[in-house]
Amino acid sequence: MSKEICPAHNCTGCGACVAVCPKRCISLQPNPQGHLLPQIDENVCVNCNLCYRTCPANTPVPLHESQACYAAWAKDEKDRITSSSGGASSVFAMHFIEQGGVVYGAALENNKIQHIRVSSKQELPRLKGSKYVYSYAADVYSLLKQDLVAGKQVLFIGTPCQNAAVYNLMGGHSNLTLVNLICHGVPAMQMLTDYLKAKNITKIRQIQFRNNNKFEFACNDYNAYECLFPNAYMTLFLNGVTYRESCYRCAYAQAKRVGDITIGDFWELEKQTPFTEKDLTKGCSCILVNTEKGNSLLNLCADKLNLFKREYVEAIRGNGQLRAPYPYTPCAKRFNALYPRYTFRRAALYSSAPVLTIEWIKLLLKKYAPQQIQQFCFKLYRRFRGI
Ligand SMILES: Cc1cc2nc3c(=O)[nH]c(=O)nc-3n(C[C@H](O)[C@H](O)[C@H](O)COP(=O)(O)OP(=O)(O)OC[C@H]3O[C@@H](n4cnc5c(N)ncnc54)[C@H](O)[C@@H]3O)c2cc1C
Ligand code: SF4
Ligand code: SF4
Ligand code: SF4
């Protein structure tokens, strides 16, 4: 058995160990559920321990109290509605490109989601949109280092665990800005591939997990939101059933934040003055400023954003992962025991029938029930769930 860099249940698959190894003898390999874990070729390893020391699970990165909290959206209407929430990440990315810098973020590449390097405005749209699946980033860290050595301004956007990986690899380099997402967890790419295979999709030409602030999954010509049955992939993702083990004990799902800026959705803002539901239908980002560098970036982009200073408690109220990791529910445990013994669809059905049924009822109500009945049922459901 290959030696462990950190306990498997803490491994986020960030890939820092792969990038730092001087002998290139670490690769990320799928476990039975498809979550990638490092494997060392012990015939090549020289026991330098660099992987062990760089791993954020062994060497934790500094976390910051947020200095300020904003609700925000891009002033450019098109930018706002083509993003998943308010388009904050897109505004930051454009700023770096306009200054001659480079941006690293998640995109569809070679039939999977992975981090890519972007250096032109034309390529920027590839980063847009939340991809609700693990993004493989191990291969871009060496490019990122080359950019820093060449004196370029670099923006890296990713999950908090990926921000931690970049921090441990590059340190607090003055030309490097780290932006992370509020993150409740990632399913394995294998799960998405299996789900799509059942829909006869083996080559992903385009994929959408969200249509602005609506969770509407679509891939190639298949629009899951037009179907009468719930989309098992998204239902299990949104109910925290399919995440990797590290997500249920995530060190970054808390009020103190990694990186320079944290962005997410500003849920439940419509309940606060001066906002109305109409203001927010096109998406609203939550921006947490974690460091002075983050503050400077926000100031430099302020003319491209509608910014509203808010209390941090408001952001936390609507976003559980600013308090604690997503709980490892009985459904998630059952799913991990069943998949991949059964296909993704069957494992979803056998492990999570209640959540899929609730989703199905919601779908039918939205499609067929009059507005008043819909509102009454959703109110009843929220009261029952205590939300
Ligand atoms: C797996 C995942 C879980 C999330 N969970 C929450 C949550 O619990 N609460 C919340 O408020 N927000 C969550 N978000 C963030 C939210 O979906 C939006 O991405 C965020 O609000 C930024 O929106 P935006 O409009 O600025 O940009 P978007 O148009 O959404 O652009 C998103 C940016 O994130 C990067 N990105 C996209 N997918 C991934 C990925 N899989 N891994 C790493 N980087 C990626 C892209 O490179 C891009 O730069 C999550 C995002 C992801 C990817
Ligand atoms: S100990 Fe050194 S050589 Fe061995 S896998 Fe880790 S980084 Fe690579
Ligand atoms: S560096 Fe990242 S991928 Fe490697 S063992 Fe640590 S957490 Fe896992
Ligand atoms: S929940 Fe934590 S461990 Fe999982 S992807 Fe998000 S930041 Fe990484």
For residue 51, the ligand closest to its alpha carbon is 2
CB of 25 shorter than 6 A to ligand 2: yes
Ligand 2 mutation target, pool 43, 48, 55, 58, most atoms within 8 A of CB = 48
* pLDDT attached to residue 212: 83
In angstroms, what is the span from residue 51 Cα to ligand 2's centroid? Answer: 6
Q: How far is residue 80 CA from its own chain's centroid? A: 18
* pLDDT attached to residue 386: 53
Atom of ligand 2 nearest to the CA of 49: 1
Q: Which two tokens stand for residue 163?
A: 């921000």
CB of 313 shorter than 6 A to ligand 2: no
Residue nearest to atom 8 of ligand 2 (CA): 21
CB of 74 shorter than 6 A to ligand 1: no
143: exposed, middle or buried (C-beta count within 10 Å: 0-12, 13-18, 19+)? middle
* pLDDT attached to residue 384: 66
Pick the closest to residue 10 from 55, 71, 57, 48 (CA basis).
57
Atom of ligand 2 nearest to the CA of 17: 7
Residue nearest to atom 4 of ligand 2 (CA): 45
Distance, in Å, from the CA atom of 135 to the CA atom of 252, rounded to the nearest integer, reads 17
For residue 26, the ligand closest to its alpha carbon is 2
Atom of ligand 3 nearest to the CA of 138: 3
Contact 103, 122 (CB under 8 A): no
In angstroms, what is the span from residue 370 Cα to ligand 4's centroid? Answer: 39
What is the phi-psi region of residue 146: left when phi exceeds 0, alpha when psi lies from -120 to 50, beta otherwise? alpha
- Residue 71, amino acid: A
CB of 338 shorter than 6 A to ligand 2: no
* pLDDT attached to residue 278: 72
What are residue 363's phi and psi, to 5 degrees? -60, -45
Residue nearest to atom 4 of ligand 1 (CA): 183
Contact 128, 83 (CB under 8 A): yes
Ligand 3: which residues within 6 Å by Cβ? 5-6, 11-17, 38, 55-57, 165
Residue nearest to atom 5 of ligand 2 (CA): 45
For residue 23, the ligand closest to its alpha carbon is 2
Quick: pLDDT tens for 114-172.
999 999 999 999 999 999 999 999 999 999 999 999 999 999 999 999 999 999 999 99
* pLDDT attached to residue 196: 97
Q: Which two tokens stand for residue 8?
A: 């498997």
* pLDDT attached to residue 385: 61
Contact 28, 18 (CB under 8 A): yes
- 205-218 b/e with 16+ CB inside 10 Å = b? eebbbbbbbebbbb
Residues of the chain whose pLDDT is less than 70?
1-2, 271, 381-387
Sheet containing strand 218-219, strands side by side: 207-208, 218-219, 222-223
* pLDDT attached to residue 379: 72
Atom of ligand 4 nearest to the CA of 253: 2
Pick the closest to residue 216 from 146, 116, 132, 123 (CA basis).
132
Distance, in Å, from the CA atom of 269 to the CA atom of 278, rounded to the nearest integer, reads 11
Domains in the chain with CATH codes: 8-54 (3.30.70), 68-187+244-322 (no CATH), 189-241+329-385 (no CATH)
In angstroms, what is the span from residue 5 Cα to ligand 3's centroid? Answer: 7
Residue nearest to atom 8 of ligand 4 (CA): 161
* pLDDT attached to residue 326: 97
Residue nearest to atom 1 of ligand 3 (CA): 55
In angstroms, what is the span from residue 52 Cα to ligand 3's centroid? Answer: 8
Atom of ligand 4 nearest to the CA of 325: 1
* pLDDT attached to residue 382: 66
Ligand 1 mutation target, pool 181, 192, 267, most atoms within 8 A of CB = 181
How many degrees, rounded to 5, is the angle at CA 323 between CA 56 and CA 163?
Answer: 30
CB of 301 shorter than 6 A to ligand 4: no
Ligand 4 mutation target, pool 33, 252, 319, 328, most atoms within 8 A of CB = 252
